[in-house]
Amino acid sequence: MKVYSHPDHGETTVKEGFSWPGFFFTFGWALLKNLWGHAIALGVLLAGSRLTSIYFERRFDANPNDGVAAAVIIGAMIVLIGTCIIVGWYGNRWVEQALIAKGYTHTGTRDA
């Protein structure tokens, strides 16, 4: 774990590597970590993907031979899974960048 310290707020740690909470709880995790810009972007991306998926799922239900609807539904699933992977992969780095922007400095590492 990386240790960051702030003169007024003390120390905090950030896990190194993949963020499983970020992977599973993308939007909520970003809100919890006070990553407001990321949370807004994730919310728009996930809501847009889901609304698009809902529209094309209804279209596909009405006509199961609609290849465009099937392709869009698969695309929406790829966007969802890709978003989860990206947040898991980069989430802890985003937390570190936010801490540095708030005046924290990296003071070392410690074992979990």
Per run of 10 residues, the mean pLDDT along the chain (length 112 residues) is: 95 96 97 96 95 94 93 95 97 97 95 80
Q: Please report, for the chain, the start and end positions of each structural domain, with discontinuous segments joined by +.
A: 2-109
Enter the tokens of residue 90.
């980069």
pLDDT at 96 (0 to 100): 97
CA atoms within 13 A on the CB side of 96: 16
pLDDT of 111 reads: 87
C-alpha atoms less than 13 angstroms from C-alpha of 109 in its C-beta half-sphere: 5
Nearest to 13 by CA among 92, 87, 103: 92
Give residue 65's identity as a one-letter amino acid code: N
Q: What local confidence, expressed as pLDDT, does residue 5 receive?
A: 96
Whole-angstrom CA distances from 36 to 17, 43, 72 are 21, 10, 29
